[in-house]
């Protein structure tokens, strides 16, 4: 038993370990079975529409999996297949970093999946598996070793093009893994020429992938997608503002014990970086080459931090949702790798400490899964109540249109108040501002409800003194001629106490 964690494992054993770890991480999401934001209308209409977003491989993915020309709801099959693919990809990455891997070595690449912000990506029952498969394609592109120059250039470029076609933000993960490749090669004392050659290949592969993607996908995008690059203000000013927003959101994660875990991980990573620096200084290279290697190693850390949001920083309408922070997983993995370099030489058992932050992230996943369950329970209760009120008033269910209006708020979910206070990152991961969507009512046979794009009309119905047809704890329903207005209320408890979260 003493050598269980330290004996060499084969590919099958490592793949089974990763499969178990990956499924354990997504188990709370599968059990919650919560249709997250876009999932509602996609499941209702078996809709796709990813091609207009430059993600035409997602359309193809669901056509293949469902054997149809659309995207019927087949959850959790796509997520289970994505988990299997990810387990094989992480197995390949482990052997790429450690030629004779042990179970302890498997802890190093696991943060790519055990990325707390990836939970929001995986919450999408439709988009989540596609985003996961984009990570798989990136990992295979980074680890591919071709027998010929043509294969070494074209195969990774093709994989990257597939990755971008599944989810463009995965480019951040590729660039981050390239930074880690530089650190790994420097630690292995690869010749200076070999390092330059490796970087050259990565640049060539990335350039070809971007070129192919531009030709094959960008021209298929809708104007609302390409307009994201049309700046209205000073780009540098906007990028600075976007970076500030990302810092605020990432800081939500480090609360209580998570702060101490991060501090300990950074401390050991610094020690590992110092050890890496010593190995670079021991190289029998010219001084300028050594200086270049040290400078390159020092620049990887700020670059990895910048790649947390990565290309999303350059969008005019910056999306600060957690799903754009896929690069955080690579930063965590880099810290794990440097910490491993510091811990392993001291004692073979010390790298087992890396399992502690992984368990903390797993705990967060289960807490988030419970929040999704609370959200589903509350939403279903409100849905049944609203459907009953509409169907029990003939003037409402016969109305030409009923407009739904709400003030964005996290305070609806009173059952999760304690969790939100202890883990402030949870409401950021949840990112559900409304407990009711118009498409939810279609499942109850009510099809005349739509969003009120301009809240002016619905709000002033109440201000002008109209008597609501229905007035209960969660909403009011007004009727003006053939048109109805549903105005969602703030929860009562919000007005009775000061909310700290």
* Residue 128 pLDDT: 95
Q: Is the pLDDT of residue 472 over 80?
A: yes
DSSP, res 415? G
- 21: closest CA among 358, 304, 318, 339? 358
Q: Is the pLDDT of residue 50 over 90?
A: no
Contacts of 79 (CB under 8 A, 6+ apart): 26, 29, 30, 122, 125, 128, 129, 132
Residue whose pair of structure tokens reads 């995986």 in the numeric block: 122
Give 401's strand partners.
483
Give 404's strand partners.
451, 486
- pLDDT bin (cut points 50, 70, 90) of residue 7 is confident
Q: Is 55 exposed, middle or buried (0-12, 13-18, 19+ CB in 10 A)?
A: buried
* Residue 109 pLDDT: 96
Q: Is the pLDDT of residue 498 over 50?
A: no
* Residue 143 pLDDT: 94
Contact in structure between 8 and 102 (CB atoms under 8 Å): yes
236-293: per-residue pLDDT in tens? 777 888 888 889 999 999 888 899 999 999 999 999 999 998 888 887 777 777 888 8
- 78: closest CA among 66, 94, 69, 89? 66
DSSP, res 391? H
Task: Return d(Cα 425, Cα 121) in angstroms, integer.
Answer: 15
Residue whose pair of structure tokens reads 């620096």 in the numeric block: 277
318-349: per-residue pLDDT in tens? 778 899 999 999 999 999 999 999 999 998 88
Going across the sheet that includes 401-405, the strands are 449-451, 401-405, 483-488, 475-480, 470-471
Task: Return d(Cα 75, Cα 72) in angstroms, integer.
Answer: 9
- 35: closest CA among 442, 328, 440? 440
* Residue 429 pLDDT: 94
């Amino acid at each position: 038993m003493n050598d269980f964690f330290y004996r060499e494992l084969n590919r099958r054993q490592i793949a089974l370990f990763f499969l178990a770890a990956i499924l354990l991480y997504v188990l709370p999401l599968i059990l919650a079975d919560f249709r997250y934001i876009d999932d509602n209308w996609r499941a209702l209409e078996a809709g796709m529409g990813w091609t207009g977003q430059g993600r035409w491989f997602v359309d193809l993915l669901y056509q293949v999996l469902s054997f149809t020309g659309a995207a019927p709801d087949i959850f959790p099959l796509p997520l289970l297949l994505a988990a299997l693919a990810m387990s094989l990809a992480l197995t390949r990455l482990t052997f790429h970093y450690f030629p004779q891997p042990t179970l302890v070595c498997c802890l190093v690449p696991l943060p790519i999946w055990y990325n707390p912000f990836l939970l929001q990506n995986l919450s999408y029952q439709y988009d989540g598996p596609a985003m996961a498969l984009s990570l798989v394609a990136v990992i295979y592109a980074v680890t591919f070793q071709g027998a010929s120059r043509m294969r070494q250039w074209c195969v990774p470029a093709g994989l990257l093009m597939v990755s971008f076609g599944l989810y463009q933000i995965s480019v951040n993960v590729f660039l981050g893994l390239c930074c880690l490749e530089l650190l790994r090669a420097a630690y292995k004392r690869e010749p200076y020429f070999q390092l330059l050659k490796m970087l050259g290949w990565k640049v060539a592969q990335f350039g070809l992938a971007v070129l192919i993607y531009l030709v094959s996908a960008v021209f298929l995008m809708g104007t609302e997608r390409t307009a994201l690059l049309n700046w209205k203000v000073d780009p540098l000013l906007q990028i600075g503002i976007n970076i500030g927003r990302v810092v605020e959101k990432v800081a939500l994660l480090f609360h209580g014990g998570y702060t101490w875990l991060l501090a300990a991980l950074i401390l050991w990573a610094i020690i590992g970086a110092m050890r890496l620096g010593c190995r670079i200084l021991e190289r029998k290279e010219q001084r300028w080459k050594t200086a270049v290697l040290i400078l390159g190693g020092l620049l990887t850390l700020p670059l990895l931090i910048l790649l947390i949001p990565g290309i999303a920083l350059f969008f005019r309408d910056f999306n600060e949702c957690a799903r754009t922070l896929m690069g955080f997983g690579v930063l965590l993995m880099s810290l794990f790798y440097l910490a491993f370099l510091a811990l392993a030489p001291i004692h073979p058992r010390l790298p087992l400490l890396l399992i502690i932050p992984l368990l903390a992230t797993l705990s967060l996943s289960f807490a988030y899964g419970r929040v999704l369950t609370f959200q589903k329970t509350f939403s279903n209760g409100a849905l049944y109540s609203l459907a009953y009120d509409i169907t029990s008033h003939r003037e409402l269910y016969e109305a030409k249109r009923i407009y739904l209006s709400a003030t964005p708020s996290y305070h609806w979910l009173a059952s999760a108040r304690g969790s939100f206070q202890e883990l402030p990152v949870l409401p950021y991961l949840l990112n559900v501002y409304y407990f009711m969507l118009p498409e939810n009512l279609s499942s109850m046979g009510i099809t005349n409800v739509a969003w009120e794009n301009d809240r002016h009309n619905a709000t002033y119905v109440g201000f002008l003194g109209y008597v609501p047809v229905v007035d209960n704890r969660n909403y009011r329903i007004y009727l003006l001629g053939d048109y109805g207005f549903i105005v969602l209320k703030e929860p009562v408890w919000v007005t009775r106490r000061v909310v700290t979260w």
